[in-house]
Amino acid sequence: MPHQAIALFRSAFGGPPTQAASAPGRINLIGDHTDYNGGPVLPMALLERTTAVTGPGEAGWLGLVSTRDGRVERVRWDGPLPSGWSAYVVGVMRELARHGAAPPGADLALTSDVPIGAGLASSAALTVAAAAALAALSGAALPADVLVEVAHRAEYEHAGVRCGIMDQTIAVHARAGQALLLECATGRSRRIAVRGRVIRVDTGTSHELAASAYNARRAECESALARLARAEPGLRHLADWPPSRIRELRRRLPAPLWARAMHVVTETQRTRTAAAFLARGRWREFGRLMNASHDSLRRWYDCSAPPLDLVVRAARRAGAWGARLTGAGWGGAVLIVVGATGGGTASREARIVRTVDRSFRRAYGRAPTITVVQPGPGARPERVI
Instruction: Give me the active site residues, please.
Output: 167
Rule CB under 6 A: choose which of 93, 110, 114, 121 binds ligand GLA: 121
Listed residue (322, 321, 309, 319) closest to 352, CA to CA: 319
CB of 30 to ligand GLA, least distance (A): 10
Sheet architecture: strand order including 196-206: 322-326, 331-340, 196-206, 369-372
CA distance 292 to 323: 9
Residue with Cβ nearer ligand GLA (6 or 27): 27
Q: List 333's β-bridge partners, or say none.
A: 202, 326
Beta carbon nearer to ligand GLA, 23 or 62: 23
Q: Which of 328, 336, 338, 370 binds ligand GLA (CB under 6 A)?
A: 328
Q: Which of 65, 92, 150, 166 binds ligand GLA (CB under 6 A)?
A: 166
- By CB under 6 A, residue 331 contacts ligand GLA: no
Cis previous bond, 243, omega within 30: no
Q: Which of residues 294-323 bind ligand GLA (CB under 6 A)?
A: none
Stretch that binds ligand GLA, among 47-55, 107-115, 164-172, 240-248 (CB under 6 A): 164-172
Segment contacting ligand GLA (CB under 6 A): 10-18, 159-167, 255-263, 291-299? 159-167
C-beta closer to ligand GLA: residue 13 or 301: 301
In the list 164, 196, 332, 339, the residue contacting ligand GLA (rule: CB under 6 A) is: 164
> Whose Cβ is closer to ligand GLA: residue 33's or residue 252's?
33
- The SS3 assignment for 303 reads coil
Contact between 167 and ligand GLA by CB under 6 A: the answer reads yes
The single residue among 13, 23, 33, 271 that binds ligand GLA, judged by CB under 6 A, is 33
Least distance to ligand GLA, CB of residue 254, Å: 23
Of 121 and 180, the one with the shorter C-beta distance to ligand GLA is: 121
Tell me the H-state helices in the chain: 2-13, 86-98, 122-138, 144-153, 166-173, 210-231, 246-252, 257-279, 283-299, 306-317, 345-364
Span near ligand GLA by CB under 6 A; candidates 27-35, 169-177, 220-228, 257-265 = 27-35
Determine contact, residues 334/358, Cβ cutoff 8 Å: no
Amino acid at 269: Q
For residue 181, report the phi and psi dihedrals to the nearest 5 degrees. Answer: -85, 115
Residue 62 beta carbon to ligand GLA: minimum distance, rounded to whole angstroms: 23
Size of the site for ligand GLA (CB under 6 A): 11
**Minimal CA–CA distance to 54: which of 16, 104, 1?**
16
Say how far apart CA 274 and CA 283 lie, in whole Å.
9
To the nearest 10 degrees (0 to 180), the angle between helices 306-317 and 345-364 is 140
- Beta-carbon-side half-sphere exposure of residue 342 (alpha carbons within 13 Å): 2
Choice between 268 and 291, CB closer to ligand GLA: 268
In terms of CB distance, is 36 or 241 closer to ligand GLA?
36
Assess contact for 154 and 95: CB atoms under 8 A. yes
Cα separation of 346 and 368, whole Å?
20
Site string for ligand GLA, 35-74 (x = CB under 6 A): xx--------------------------------------
Cβ at position 114, least distance to ligand GLA in Å:
12
Residues that bind ligand GLA (CB under 6 A): 32-33, 35-36, 121, 163-164, 166-167, 327-328
